């Protein structure tokens, strides 16, 4: 069996003291996640993060930094994910925009509100990324050498 990591991106968007999350149905239960998804062919990591955020939330964002790069093996299926988490600023919300079919809706939560719902997190990476963001972890976007 050939092993490979799945490359994913996630975006932390803070606006007026609240963080943007998506509600999605996974494994028969409603879970919370940052806007996130898989890298597609012929796109950069930054393009993927902006696209996934728009598709899942209807929010246009501008990436400002890399929060962290994480390697995570999901206990539910044994799949390994390489997650690149970005920090972004909200540019505009398009509430009329249709969201990805697996997204139930979006939520803006404070950190404390998220902690109350921590059993609903899609994975431990959701809180890990947010904790790193809150600790001030910010790396320049130039850290990533995108294809030319």
Q: Tens place of pLDDT for every residue, the chain, 148 residues?
A: 677 779 999 999 999 999 999 999 888 899 999 999 999 999 999 999 999 999 999 999 999 999 999 999 988 888 899 999 999 999 999 999 999 989 999 999 999 999 999 999 999 999 999 999 999 999 999 999 876 5
21: which 2 tokens? Answer: 């999350």
Distance CA 66, CA 123 (A): 19
Q: What is the pLDDT of residue 148?
A: 58
7: which 2 tokens? Answer: 């490359």
Spatial CA neighbour of 30 closest among 111, 103, 137, 110: 103
Let me know: does 88 contact 67? Beta carbons within 8 Å. no
Q: Which DSSP symbol is given to 94? A: -
Q: With respect to CATH, is domain 6-141 assigned 1.10.645.10?
A: no
Q: What is the pLDDT of residue 76?
A: 83
Residue with tokens 């919300």: 93
16: which 2 tokens? Answer: 């007026």
């Amino acid at each position: 069996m050939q092993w490979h990591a799945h490359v994913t991106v996630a975006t932390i968007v803070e606006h007026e003291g609240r963080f943007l999350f998506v509600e999605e149905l996974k494994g028969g239960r409603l879970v919370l996640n940052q806007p996130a998804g898989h890298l597609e062919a012929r796109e950069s990591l930054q393009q993927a993060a902006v696209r996934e955020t728009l598709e899942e939330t209807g929010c246009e964002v501008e990436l400002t930094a890399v929060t962290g790069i994480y390697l995570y093996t999901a206990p539910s299926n044994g799949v390994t994910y390489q997650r690149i988490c970005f920090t972004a600023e909200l540019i505009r919300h398009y509430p009329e925009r249709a969201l990805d079919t697996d997204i139930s809706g979006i939520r803006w939560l404070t950190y404390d509100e998220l902690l109350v719902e921590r059993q609903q997190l899609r994975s431990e990476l959701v809180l890990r990324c947010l904790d790193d963001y809150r600790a001030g972890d910010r790396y320049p976007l130039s850290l990533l050498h995108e294809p030319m």
